Every structure is written in structure tokens, then in C-alpha cells.
Structure 1
């Protein structure tokens, strides 16, 4: 059975994007970017909602060709292109870069994918991750908290139907007061 991980950069008040889907507040240090790259290399399948897909696919297909791209950014772009991806959307009609679209029931498909053998999967996007959380499918949360208050936007956590007990498995500080807390779901 595959592990399902939900992890993103989060503001101190719990948002993954400011109003207008602004992500400019979460510029990672070189050390944090390297940590994210290391995490992404261990993932066998990325699961995206439409908005996060549009954000990622607007930059990372050519991220390694951007002026001033660091070695880590070059590797991140190459890894992103090579890793299989699934986009859950009824409005996206064309994908590329080792990606397929699922227009049906996301929870049903994630459940099916999770039952397979293979490397861990990462779910991204607040709405898609929220559906996976409510269905009890998320095994691990990687919360990278930045010392900024956004006051609104897209929340990291959505409402769940019942308590979800977690075990803290890792903490780590990054430059600029950024803190990783990693939790596993207690089953």
C-alpha cells in the first residue's frame, strides 16, 4: 500500500496562498528549497487539483532553463517533469509532462492508487487534499510554517468530519524562522 503525504508551505495563520492565489510570501531559502527537493525525489506520483496544477505547470516545465536557475532548481524541474502526475479536474483538457487527467470521483481514484504497491504519493491543492483528508486517506502531513500572517486566502486545513489524531515525527528549523513539523496519522 502506498503512503499519501500532504505537505505545503503554510503561513502562521494557516494559509497556503494569500487572497488572489498569491504565493509571494513563501519564498524558500536555499536550505528549505533543497529540503523540498529531497522530499520530492522520494515521491512516485504527484496528485494535483486544478489550481495547483496550473501554478506548477506554468513554471516547472522550463524552470531549469530560467536565467539564474540554481542547481537545485534545475534538478527540481527535471524531477517534476519526470515524475508521474495526476490532475483531478473537469475543466483542464490538456496536460503534458508525464501527466494524466481524472475527471471522475477523486476520492475513489486516490483510494485505488493508494491500494497499489509503489513509492509514496503527494497530494497538493487545498480542495483535493481536503477531500482526501475527510476520506481518511492522508498518512502524513508536512507543514512548513513561515513567520507571516496573511489574514485570509486558501487554508491548509479544511473541515474534517471527525478528529484525526497525529503523532509528531519530526521538527526542523530553517533560515528566516521557518519551521517544519511533520506528523503521521495515528491509525
Structure 2
């Protein structure tokens, strides 16, 4: 049985995008990137919303990303070697291999996928992850907290619901980023 892990980069005030839609506030750091790659290498299936999928697809379709360094090549390989499920009502086809489009979020289908999985699943995209959190499907929340407050934008966690979280671990990175790992607890 696989776990469903929601991981995202957030500002200190909890946003994944600033008020202009930018998400470039995470300071550069090889150790943070290596942690993302390590997680990606352990994942069997990526479950993404359309917007995040379109941003991440470059890792597979644009070889210039992987050509920049061995660290970037490792991440690109991990992304390419992972099954992908994209939730979108707009996409007709995808430019990446091992990718399937689903039209509507289906909590039962995600639960079945988790039960049948021999590796963990990673869910990405705040709106999609919010649906999974509301359905009680997320087993772990991983927040890479950047040492910056952006003052507004798109929230990394769903609004309108209460989430009680149990701290599983933390990790400090040299650039001031903190990885906080939580397990959602039933309310």
C-alpha cells in the first residue's frame, strides 16, 4: 500500500504563489533540490493538477534542463521515470510519456490507487491536494518553507477546513529553508 504525500514550496506566510502568480521566492540551494530529487526517486505515481503538470513537464520535454548539471539530470530522470496522472478538464493530450488524463477528481479511485501501489504517490497542485485533504486521502504533508513573506497570493493549504497535523520531522537547509513533515490527524 502506498502513501499519498502532498509536498509543496511555501512562503513563510503560507503561499505557493505571490499576488502576481510568481513562485520564484524559494532561495536557490543544492541541498533543497537534492531533497526534492530524493523524494521524486521514491515515488511511483505523480498525481498533478493541470497547471502544475504543465510547469513540471519541461523536465521531460526540454533536454536543456537536464543538461545544466548532474543534479538537474537526476531530477529530470526521476520525473521521466514516474507514472503521471493529470486531473484536467481542458487537456486533450500530454507531451510526456507514462501520463494519463483524468477529467474529474475521484476520491475512491485515488484510494484504490493507494491500496494497489507498491510505492508512494505524490500529489501536487494546491487545489487538487485540497480536494484530497478534504477527502482524508493525504497521509503526509511536506512543506518546504522559504524564509520570505510574500503578503498574499495562492495558499498552499486549503481554506475553509480545519487540518490538525502531527509533526513527523523537520530539516533545516543552509539557505534558510525548513522542511516540515506532518501527518494529518482526524478532527
Q: Is the 8 A contact 1:46 1:84 kept in 2?
A: yes
The reply on whether 1:167 has 2:171 as its aligned counterpart is no
Q: Is the 8 A contact 1:63 1:77 kept in 2?
A: no
Range 107-116 or range 125-134, more displaced: 107-116
Q: What RMSD over aligned residues (CA atoms) do the two structures have, in Å?
A: 1.8
Q: What are the residue-to-residue correspondences of 1:114-125 with 2, within 5 Å? A: 114-125=114-125
| Corresponding residue for residue 56 of structure 2 | 56
Q: Is the 8 A contact 2:66 2:73 kept in 1?
A: no
| Corresponding residue for residue 131 of structure 2 | 131
Superposed displacement of residue 164, structure 1:
3.5
| Corresponding residue for residue 103 of structure 1 | 103
Q: Is the 8 A contact 1:64 1:75 kept in 2?
A: no
The reply on whether 1:150 has 2:145 as its aligned counterpart is no
Superposed displacement of residue 65, structure 1:
2.9
| Corresponding residue for residue 184 of structure 1 | 183
The reply on whether 1:4 has 2:4 as its aligned counterpart is yes
Q: Is the 8 A contact 1:49 1:87 kept in 2?
A: yes
Q: What are the residue-to-residue correspondences of 1:20-99 with 2, within 5 Å? A: 20-57=20-57, 59-62=58-61, 64-66=63-65, 69-95=68-94, 96-99=96-99
Q: Is the 8 A contact 1:2 1:116 kept in 2?
A: yes
Superposed displacement of residue 179, structure 1:
0.7
User: Per the alignment, in what secondary structure is the counterpart of residue 148 of structure 2?
Assistant: coil
Task: State how many pairs are aligned.
Answer: 185
Q: Distance in 2 between matches of 1:64 and 1:174?
A: 28
Q: Deviations over 1:53-84 (max 9, x none)?
A: 11111x21145534861211001111101100
Bigger proportion of residues as helix: 1
Q: Is the 8 A contact 1:63 1:74 kept in 2?
A: no
User: Per the alignment, in what secondary structure is the counterpart of residue 172 of structure 1?
Assistant: strand
Structure 2 unaligned residues grouped into runs of 5+: none
Compared CA separation, residues 142 and 67, structure 1 to 2 (3 A): closer
Superposed displacement of residue 9, structure 1:
0.8
| Corresponding residue for residue 15 of structure 1 | 15
User: Per the alignment, in what secondary structure is the counterpart of residue 85 of structure 1?
Assistant: strand
Q: Distance in 2 between matches of 1:128 and 1:67?
A: 27
TM-score (norm 2): 0.91
